[in-house]
Amino acid sequence: MKTAYFSLGCFWSPQLEFENLEGVKKAEVGYCGGDDPNTTYEKVCSGSTNHAETVKVDYDEKLVSYEDLVRFFFKIHDPTQLNKQGPDVGTQYRSEIFYTDENQKEIAKKIKNEINNKFKGKVVTKVSKEKLYQPAEEYHQYYLKRKNFI
């Protein structure tokens, strides 16, 4: 089992989209990339922690590759919007891939460059080392499913 971390706006919908992929065993919503080891949703929304809303993806690399997950990440959001996706605005909604090792880093950078060429240099997605990932509060996990929005 491997793990990948993706930030692409509000985490509710991407959690379900990733979890529907063959080979993904679990998608969890949380916060990553910030400076507070004990953050909360309220702190993240204040912009004081530098965390991004993030989907942690546990996957079976025999069934789905990291490269496939990165390509899917770029497919399901707009990587040219700085610190926003749709109506959600703020640094917590930034586009960022958090890698766990050098292999993930190289794959993420390679695919980002490919996508950036297609978008004529407008991609703002960051590629960063995973830092201080924390699961979001329980009420955020599978929020759209529990509220019957899907």
pLDDT digit string, tens, across residues 62-94: 999 999 999 999 999 999 999 999 999 999 999
What would you report as the CA-atom Rg of the chain, rounded to the nearest whole angstrom?
14
Which residues have a catalytic role annotated? 10
Token match 């201080």: residue?
Answer: 132
* Segments forming the whole domain that contains residue 138: 2-146
Number of domains in the chain: 1
Of 45, 56, 42, the C-alpha closest to 8 is: 56
> Which pLDDT tens digit goes with each residue over 1-40?
999 999 999 998 999 999 999 999 999 999 999 999 999 9
Tell me the whole-structure pTM to 2 decimals: 0.95
| CATH number, domain with residue 119 | 3.30.1060.10
